[in-house]
Structure formats: C-alpha cells, structure tokens
C-alpha cells in the first residue's frame, strides 16, 4: 500500500496546477475584455469622426452655401452675359 503522504502530495500538486490554470485563464479573459473595450472605444471615435466628416461634406457641397460664401466672403458676382464666350470648336 502506498503511503498517504504520496497521495497528499499528488493531490496538492494537482490543486496547485488547477489553481494556476484558473488564475491564468481569468487573466487572459480580463486582457481580452480590456482589448475589446479599447477597440470598441476606438470604433465609436471613428464613427463620430466619420459622421462629422459626412456633415462637413454635405455642408461644403450644398450649392446654396457655396454661392452665399462666394458672394459674401469672396465678393464674387455672376458673370454678365457679354462675358460669356463660346467654347472653341
């Protein structure tokens, strides 16, 4: 018959290995969760930037806004009919 201290030693080693695997897996899970949160935060920031750029693009391509800015800020006026010339053929 084997001595009881050998059985106790094997059970202790098994318990320590199980605890180490449990702690390691939880640490890996926490690291993965942190990385997921970081990536989610970055994605939301990119979506906000994309939305801002879309709004700016719409504002810049609005013909009324462009014409108003040309008249007000740049002092531009429509061409007179005599300034029009035909394109060369």
pLDDT digits (tens, 9 = 90+) for 3-52: 788 889 999 999 999 999 999 999 999 999 999 999 999 999 999 999 99
Whether the per-residue pLDDT at 79 is higher than 90: the answer is no
Query: Please, what sign has the CA dihedral across residues 63, 64, 70, 75?
Result: positive
Residues 6, 12: Cα–Cα separation, whole Å: 10
Rounded to a whole number, what is the distance in angstroms from the first to the last CA of the chain?
111
What is the C-alpha R_g of the chain? 36
Q: Interhelix angle for 63-72 vs 4-61, to 10°? A: 60
- What residue has token string 């990119």? 46
């Amino acid at each position: 018959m084997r001595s009881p201290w050998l059985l106790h030693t094997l059970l202790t080693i098994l318990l320590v290995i199980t605890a180490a695997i449990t702690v390691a897996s939880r640490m890996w899970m926490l690291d993965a969760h942190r990385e997921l949160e970081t990536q989610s935060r970055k994605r939301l920031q990119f979506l906000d930037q994309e939305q801002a750029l879309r709004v700016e693009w719409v504002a810049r391509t609005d013909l009324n806004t462009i014409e108003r800015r040309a008249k007000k800020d740049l002092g531009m006026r429509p061409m007179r009919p005599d300034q029009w010339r035909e394109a060369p053929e």
